[in-house]
Chain A
Amino acid sequence: MNPRSPTQLADDTSGQLWLPTSLAAQLEKWAAAGYPFEICGLLIGRHHGHEVETVSVTSAQNLARDRRRDRYLLDPDDFLAADREAQADGLEIVGFWHTHPDHPARPSQVDLDAAWEGYSYLIIATNATGAVELRSWSLQGGRFVQQVVRREEQT
């Protein structure tokens, strides 16, 4: 393993992110519509130990307007609004999503530099045909570790 890589090997996974198929479809629709720019949003849900349940997703403004082909800065106003809504519903912000246009769904060094422990970071790779790859990561001990994404129908 490259010691400077921001990610662990793909088979070294940490926990699971439960993502209902309807929410995955919504994210992929937003991601495709946002191409060729990076777009972003929040994941709302619950933590169950090392498992994360996604109950809803939101889209947010990308404030990195001059670099939106390769950077994102999620509008903190959107974070605040999502936090209020989640709290009212007995839920919490469990993570974030953003796109990598024409780039794999793996965290970059700038993703690592800005990451916080305790959240899931879902990355959607996009190209001119739409969303092509979706992976989730969490920061542990200063490195990103991949989470298994379980796409299942909401019960």
Chain B
Amino acid sequence: MNVVMVRIPTPLRRFTAGADEVSVEGRSVGEVLQELVARHQDLSHHLFDTDGGIRKFINIYVNDRNVSSLDGLDTAVDNGTVLTIVPAVAGGRR
């Protein structure tokens, strides 16, 4: 099993006891995120939609690549991969 460092953005750190990084095992992005929410269950509805996909307000990066341009939750991860959770930042005047 590969060990992946998951970087947690500020708004979600209240669900990881303040930790900005969490070390998690898994072979794919999906496995890593499932293991992460198994440990920090309140993260689940912030990361996953009701169909089990990644919420539209969340981007997941494997090292420097957005998984939306890779294989999504099936994207493979290696030992030492950094997985970064990037919140969508959006809005506008109306």
Partner of A80, one of B61, B88, B91: B61
Partner of B92, one of A71, A80, A116, A117: A71
Partner of A71, one of B10, B59, B84, B90: B90
- B94 and A114 form a contact (CB under 8 A): no
Bits for A58-90, please: 1 = Cβ < 8 Å to B, else 0.
000000100100111110110110010000000
Number of chain A residues close to chain B: CB under 8 A:
37
CB of B7 closer than 8 Å to a CB of A: yes
B interface residue count range (under 10 / 10 to 19 / 20 to 34 / 35 or more): 20 to 34
Interface of B is mostly: mixed
| Chain B, 26-63, CB within 8 A of any chain A CB | 57, 59, 61
- A119 and B92 form a contact (CB under 8 A): no
Q: Do A119 and B91 contact each other (CB < 8 Å), given the known contacts A80-B61, A80-B64, A80-B84?
A: no
